[in-house]
Structure 1
Amino acid sequence: MKKLITSLAVASVLLIASACSSNTKNDSSIEGLTIYTSIYPIEYFTEKIGGNTVDVESIYPPGADAHTFEPTAKTMAQLAESDAFFYLGAGLEGFAESAAKSLNNENVSLVELGIHESLFSHVDNKEEGHEGHSHGDKDPHIWLDPVRAKEMASYIKEELIELNPEDKELYKENFNKLSKDLTALHEDFQSVVENADHNKFLVAHGAYGYWEERYGVEQISVNGISPSSEPSQKDIERLILTGKKENIDYMIFEKNVSNEIATIVQQEIGAEALSIHNLSVRMREDIDEENDYFDLMRQNLNVLKTVLNHN
């Protein structure tokens, strides 16, 4: 029912927007491409590859929850006037998928990067004791793996070339620079894990499965792939016992997601709280300090280095 209401609301707003915007839509051949995105990594990669030929902005305000965000009428009007909307899909952004269906009647290119199956690992979404929002059978947090992030960026490059073939060589050149930076980040992750004392870490939100797959670490998560999933009482007791048995000194929380159950587990274990960034959106402080994707990922790497080298 909620999904139906959201879809109807989006459609209503777009009817108004299309009536108001027919004469004001950006001419990409003159002003460059106006592109809106969902999550921050898509915004950042599009901006880096597109350079001065694109004007890119995420629809999410600072610190928003990518799962529960609902757009304003102004946001929907801006989307209807843009040249393209890039989003991940894969069950991550409920609003984005509803909006994309409504935008089919607008002159907006809809780019769902998640149609590329090679980006994802498939997961069992019927974890014992966890209920709540489902991502289907895919783990959507691909941007946290530098190798998968590079593949996603390559698809963004191809979409930009399709939208603006005249700047094909620029997009290729900018992608190659980005690709080298992502490779260097991947190598830094490898080095930290290879030289770590341990390979297990305790985290509130199980968004780091691709680190497990890529680097051989093991996340012990309070919640599942979705931060809104709920562990059972049995799961909570098991987590506390595991934390004590493994002598885990830290609980990792995400900056834009509160988690009361994880706080209880942390206190029962006697672990120190550390913060990690899931990068789905930037916080206001990230913007003020001009922290980009690589800054935030390297901050995460420092946190990972700390928790994998506890006493």
Structure 2
Amino acid sequence: MTFRRTAAPTAALTVCALLGACGAPSPEKSGTGGTDGKPSVVVGFYPLQYAAERIGGDRIHVTNLTRPGGEPHDAELTPKDVAAVADADLAVHEKGMQPALDDAVAAENPDKAFDVATVAQLDAPVPEPVADLGGDGHDHAHGDEHAHEEGHEEGHEGHDHAHEGEGHEGEEKGHEGHSHDHGTVDPHFWLDPVRYEAVAAALTERLSQVDPEGKATYEANLADLRRDLEAVDAEYEKGLEKCRSTTLVTGHAAFGYLAARYGLTQAAISGLSPESEPDPARLAAVADYVRKHDVSTIYAETLTSPAVAETVARETGARTAVLDPIEGLTKDGTDYLGLMRSNLATLRTGQGCS
């Protein structure tokens, strides 16, 4: 903007002096939290937003860097987004999920970053192909097959299943930079409400460090969220206890933690990347697997094309249904809990559960 030298600025400056405005810094501005002094929390995608908002309530300001309807994996940051990361009191991300955000956090605000991968126990390396489609269907590709048998018997204290010994060693190796990228480790921890609860608890601790005066509020809100997550966990446990089929054929490998938690076997048509295109040989192998295991439903997903699932369904006579990986909201009036329950209803129908 170009200012011309006239007599007008003198009058303007007088008004500014009287009103205390015109170029004065915003009072109590805290990062992206605006002028209300609330701690500003920047998150990478919807499940992190939901947890932060449930725990923080009205005490914090949350900015989600993935736009509604957008695919988190492909999110690119604008200069405004990068500035939000730099100004944030807390930047919550999952290293390996969104490389652009990882880079921004490392460059702009590493001291105020919280990588949820360090507590989500992402112990699920995903080989390619995701399941041995020529096998007996019990290749729990996510290496967590004893979760269902042991985890619930021991209670939620024992939900660190499969992490004692080899799990923590793997965590130390994997999360040191999560350098094995999104293509080899399943990042969708929030589809297992028990893992999600662990992340929420750790987020509560970080928020309490940022805003010690809000600690009691954050802990009370966590208790409410924990009750909700435990209720959803119990609903899944009961709802998927007796199903005609325990083979879960999905478009891509987003549901491994959910499958392992509730005694299902995930067989994904594609790998972890939603954009990966299976070759004809892979499609033929999946079709044979579906016929062999008497699979009646192939699951497509929101935010991605259903073409691959529809192709396998046509070849096998199966029907298609849609599961939501809950990476982002696709319609108004829904939230994490509602989407988890909607997925459960879809699974109970598709898997023939009673």
Q: TM-score, normalised by structure 2?
A: 0.73
Q: Structure 2: where are the runs of 5+ without partners?
A: 1-24, 132-179
| Partners of 1:248 and 1:310 within 8 A in 2 | no
Higher helix share: 1
Partner SS, residue 31 of structure 1: coil
Give the AA of the match of 1:268: E
Aligned in 2, Cα 1:239/1:137: closer, same or farther, shift over 3 Å?
Answer: closer
Aligned in 2, Cα 1:147/1:217: closer, same or farther, shift over 3 Å?
Answer: same
Give the AA of the match of 1:44: Y
Q: 2:88 aligns with which of 56, 69, 82?
A: 82
1:100 paired with 2:147, answer: no
- The answer for the alignment partner of 1:292 in structure 2 is 335
- 1:42 Cα deviation from its structure 2 partner: 0.8
CA distance in 1, matches of 2:248, 2:126: 21
- The answer for the alignment partner of 2:125 in structure 1 is 123
Question: 1:61-116 CA distances to partner (integer Å, 9 max, x unpaired)?
Answer: 11111111112223223333332211111x111111111122138xx721111123
| Partners of 1:119 and 1:151 within 8 A in 2 | no
Partner SS, residue 71 of structure 1: coil
CA distance in 1, matches of 2:223, 2:106: 33
- 1:212 Cα deviation from its structure 2 partner: 2.4
CA distance in 1, matches of 2:124, 2:292: 30
1:67 paired with 2:73, answer: yes
Give the AA of the match of 1:113: V
| Partners of 1:125 and 1:137 within 8 A in 2 | yes
1:36-185 alignment, distance < 5 Å? 36-89=42-95, 91-104=96-109, 109-116=112-119, 119-127=121-129, 134-135=181-182, 137-185=184-232
CA distance in 1, matches of 2:264, 2:128: 22
CA distance in 1, matches of 2:223, 2:93: 22
- The answer for the alignment partner of 1:306 in structure 2 is 349
Question: 1:243-264 CA distances to partner (integer Å, 9 max, x unpaired)?
Answer: 1233322221111011533332
CA distance in 2, matches of 1:262, 1:97: 31
Aligned in 2, Cα 1:226/1:79: closer, same or farther, shift over 3 Å?
Answer: same
| Partners of 1:64 and 1:256 within 8 A in 2 | yes
Aligned in 2, Cα 1:194/1:267: closer, same or farther, shift over 3 Å?
Answer: same
Question: 1:185-220 CA distances to partner (integer Å, 9 max, x unpaired)?
Answer: 001000011122221122101111112221111122
| Structure 1 runs (4+) greater than 6 angstroms displaced | none
| Partners of 2:208 and 2:218 within 8 A in 1 | yes
Q: Structure 1: where are the runs of 5+ without partners?
A: 1-22
- 1:57 Cα deviation from its structure 2 partner: 2.3
The structure having more radius of gyration, on CA atoms, is 2
Partner SS, residue 185 of structure 2: coil
Partner SS, residue 160 of structure 1: helix
Give the AA of the match of 2:75: F
Partner SS, residue 80 of structure 2: helix
Give the AA of the match of 1:297: M
Q: TM-score, normalised by structure 1?
A: 0.82
| Partners of 1:125 and 1:134 within 8 A in 2 | no
CA distance in 2, matches of 1:171, 1:310: 38
CA distance in 2, matches of 1:212, 1:114: 19
Partner SS, residue 79 of structure 1: helix
CA distance in 2, matches of 1:43, 1:136: 23
Partner SS, residue 84 of structure 2: helix
| Partners of 1:120 and 1:139 within 8 A in 2 | yes
1:183-194 alignment, distance < 5 Å? 183-194=230-241
1:26 paired with 2:69, answer: no
- The answer for the alignment partner of 2:296 in structure 1 is 249
